[in-house]
Amino acid sequence: MTTEAESPHLLSVRDLGKTFRLPGGRDLVAVDAVSFDLNAGESLGIVGESGSGKTTTARIIAGLESATAGSIDFGGRTLGGSGRSRSSAREIQMVFQDPFGSLDPRQRIAAGIEELLGLHFRFSKSARRARVTELLEEVGLGAQHADELPRNLSGGQRQRVAIARALALEPELLILDEAVSALDVSVQAQILNLLIDIRERTEIAYLFVSHDLAVVRQVCERSIVMNHGRIVEAGATADILDRPTNAYTRQLVDAIPRPGWRPKRRLNAAG
C-alpha cells in the first residue's frame, strides 16, 4: 500500500465517513465527508460538542476504528480507508481524556515505558533505563515516580505519564483527545504548558480534539469546527474565535463564560 509519491502533508484526510448501525436497524452517521490536511509539526484543533463526531474522527485516524468511507494518507502512505481496519502505526500515538483509565493499574510507571521501548527499539538494559528517566524528566516527573503504581499518582501526574508513554514511541503525530479536560484548572494549565513546550522542542504534530475553545486557542494555529459529523468551519483558530462566520460556531463562542457574559436562552429549543 505504499505510494512513493511524496505528499506535501503529513496527514491528508479525504471525505472520511463513519456510519454506525444502531440496534433498531437505523443508521447513525457519526462522521460525514470530513476532509482536512495537517502538515508536519503543525497543530490542528478539532472543536465540537458531544455527538459532533470529533472523537470518532480522531479514533479512525489513530486506527482504533475503521472508516466506512473516504481515505487517510499519512506520510505518503495510505492508511486503512473505507471498510478496512488496520494495525496501528507507531508514528501515530494518542493521549486519552481519562487519566485514571489510561494506565495499566498494576504496572509500575518505568516498567510500562520500558515495555514500550522494548517493542520498537533496540536498547541495552541500562540505555533503556536511562531513556525512561529522560522521558519522565521531559514531562516533569522525577525518578521517584518511576517505580510507583498509577494509583499512587495524582490525575495530573498520570496524564504526564500518558504523555511520556506516547513520546517514548517517537511519533510524528500525537492525537490528544480531550487530554486536559478532566483535570483541575490549576493542573490543566501545567499539562497545557507541557504540551506547548513539547511542540517547541520537537517536530511532533498535534491533532488536538477538545470542546474547550480557550484551550484550543493556546495550542492550535488552525482549527476545524464540527457539528453533527460535519465540518462547519475551518481556518485559523484566531479567526474562527474572533470572527466566526458559521451560526453554530458563533453560538459556541458566545457560550464561553467570561467577564460580563450573560447566559443566553435560545428560543423554542428542542433540547
Partner 1 sequence: MTTLTVLPDVAVVRRRSNLDMLTVVVATVCSALVVLAILGPFLTPYPPAQTDILAASQGPSAQHLLGTDALGRDILSRLLAGARLSFAGPGLIVAVSTTAGTAIAIWSAWHGGLLDKGMNRVLDVMFAVPGILVAVLAAAVFGSGFWAPVLALSIVYIPYVARVVRSAAVRERRLPYVEACQLAGMRPSRICSRHILRNVAPIALAQGTIAFASALMDFAAISFLGLGVQPPVSEWGLMVSDGRSELLDGAAQQSLAAGAMVVLTVVAFNVLGERVSRRIGGNR
Partner 2 sequence: MTANDRSTGMPAEQASRQDLLLAIERLQVTLPPRRRGEARRTVIHDVSMQIAPGESLGVVGESGSGKSMTTRAVMRLLPQGASMTGRLDFDGQDVMGMSRRELSAYRGSQVGMIYQDPRAHTNPLRTLGDFLIEGVTLSGQMRRTEAEELACDLLRQVGVGDAGHRIRQYPHQLSGGLLQRVMIVMALMPSPRLVLADEPTTALDVTIQSEVMAILGEQIRERQCGLMFITHDLDLAAAVTDSLAVMYAGVVVETGPSDNLYSSPRHPYTAGLLASRPHSERVERPTAIPGRPLSAFEAGPGCVFASRCPFATQQCHEQRPALREVDGRNVACHRVEEFGADLTYQFKEAQ
Q: Which residues bind partner 2 (CB under 8 A)?
A: 49-50, 154-157, 184-190, 192-193, 196, 211-215, 217-218, 238, 241-242, 251-252, 254-266, 268-271
HEC-encoded secondary structure of the chain: CECCCCCCCCEEEEEEEEEEECCCCCEEEEEEEEEEEECCCCEEEEECCCCCCHHHHHHHHHCCCCECEEEEEECCEEECCECCCCCCCCCEEEECCCCCCCCCCCCCHHHHHHHHHHHHCCCCHHHHHHHHHHHHHHCCCCHHHCCCCHHHCCHHHHHHHHHHHHHHCCCCEEEEECCCCCCCHHHHHHHHHHHHHHHHHCCCEEEEEECCHHHHHHHCCEEEEEECCEEEEEEEHHHHHHCCCCHHHHHHHHCCCCCCCCCCCCCCCCC
136 binding partner 1? (CB under 8 A)? no
220 binding partner 1? (CB under 8 A)? no
162 binding partner 1? (CB under 8 A)? yes
Q: With respect to partner 1, which residue has the nearer C-beta, 155 or 235?
A: 155
Site size for partner 1, by CB under 8 A?
Answer: 28
Minimal distance, residue 72 CB to partner 2, in Å: 27
Name which of partner 2, partner 1, none residue 162 binds, using a CB cut-off of 5 to 8 Å depending on partner kind. Answer: partner 1
Among the listed residues 120, 154, 238, 242, the single contact to partner 1 using CB under 8 A: 120
* Contact code string over 83-102 relative to partner 1, x by CB under 8 A: ----xxxx-xxx-xxx--xx
Name which of partner 2, partner 1, none residue 63 binds, using a CB cut-off of 5 to 8 Å depending on partner kind. Answer: partner 1
Which span sits near partner 1 by CB under 8 A: 137-145, 164-172, 201-209, 242-250?
164-172
Q: With respect to partner 1, which residue has the nearer C-beta, 58 or 240?
A: 58
Contact residues toward partner 1 (CB under 8 A) are 62-64, 87-90, 92-94, 96-98, 101-107, 115-116, 119-120, 162, 165-166, 169
